[in-house]
């Protein structure tokens, strides 16, 4: 209701609004907002649920799981520099947004194939692909807003993009959590009738092996792995929308804008 009310006020106030509608109506800004809302949400899902996968499925500690998501973090940082350099040389940010969304989509799709026995080459390589996509594309959505908006509208456009990225990350995490919980409850009841699903859910990723007997562990790990990869499918869907949004971007050069 608050969002609806806020939107109505902005439409009513027009140029006097906190977020003038002309900013959101600008094609590249609208596509950029959609892009960061969905691409940022996809990356957040992986940054949150990959450590859970490592802890629950591979049985590593919380500290070790943090180390194992370094590929996605380092990939994002490295390719942010690559995209920044590329845009400064070519002047065009749109190709990097398209390539970035495509890489997130590719990496996200590959993670849905993970199994308890997946090799390091798989969980390292797929993370690097996602990180590369995030680094190439997300920051360039902010560059687009700075390029297409009038100088007086740039601060407002930047705030709108940051808000959309944060909101997307929060909203889609809650959706992914609902997917994980509902899938776990359903499949655990079907797979192992003797187990109390509530105990397993409350144990969390690190305590999973403490509450499940050895005779049931392999089955429970398969179920848990399947449920986690369903949350990764959320990332696939979000990256797909981001890719569509990137195709809608205008092909404008930052060099022409600066001139």
In the chain, what are the domains?
29-258 (1.20.1250.20)
Between these two residues, 193 and 7, which has the higher pLDDT value?
193
Burial class (CB in 10 A: 0-12, 13-18, 19+), 210: exposed
Q: Distances in Å between the alpha carbon of 28 and those of 106, 138, 147, 242, 246?
A: 24, 13, 9, 13, 9
- The mean per-residue pLDDT over the stretch 93-110 comes to 97
**Phi–psi pair at 227, nearest 5 degrees:** -65, -40
The pLDDT, as a whole number, for residue 48 is 94
Between these two residues, 153 and 81, which has the higher pLDDT value?
81
| Average pLDDT of every residue of the chain | 87
- The Cα–Cα gap between 227 and 105 comes to 19
The pLDDT, as a whole number, for residue 157 is 86
Please state the pTM of the whole predicted model.
0.90
Are the CB atoms for 131 and 74 separated by under 8 Å?
yes
């Amino acid at each position: 209701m608050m969002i609806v009310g806020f939107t109505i006020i902005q439409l009513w106030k027009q140029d006097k609004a906190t977020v003038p509608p002309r900013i959101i109506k600008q094609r590249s800004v609208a596509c950029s907002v959609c892009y960061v809302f969905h691409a940022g949400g996809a990356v957040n899902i992986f940054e949150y649920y990959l450590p859970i996968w490592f802890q629950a499925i591979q049985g590593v500690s919380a500290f070790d799981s943090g180390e194992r998501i370094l590929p996605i973090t380092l990939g994002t940082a490295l390719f942010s520099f690559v995209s920044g350099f590329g845009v400064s040389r070519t002047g065009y940010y749109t190709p990097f947004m398209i390539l970035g969304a495509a890489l997130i989509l590719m990496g996200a799709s590959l993670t849905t194939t993970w199994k308890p026995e997946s090799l390091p080459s798989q969980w390292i390589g797929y993370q690097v692909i996602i990180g590369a996509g995030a680094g190439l594309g997300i920051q360039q959505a902010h560059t687009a807003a700075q390029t297409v908006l009038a100088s007086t509208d740039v601060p407002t456009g930047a705030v709108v993009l940051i808000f959309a990225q944060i909101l997307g990350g929060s909203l889609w995490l809650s959706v992914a959590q609902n997917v994980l919980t509902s899938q776990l409850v359903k499949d655990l009841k079907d797979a192992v009738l003797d187990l109390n699903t509530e105990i397993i859910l409350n144990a969390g990723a690190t305590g999973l092996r403490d509450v499940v007997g050895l005779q049931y562990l392999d089955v429970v790990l398969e179920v848990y792995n399947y449920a986690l990869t369903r949350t990764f499918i959320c990332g696939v869907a979000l990256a797909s929308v981001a890719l569509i949004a990137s195709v809608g971007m205008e092909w404008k050069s930052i060099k022409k804008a600066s001139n």
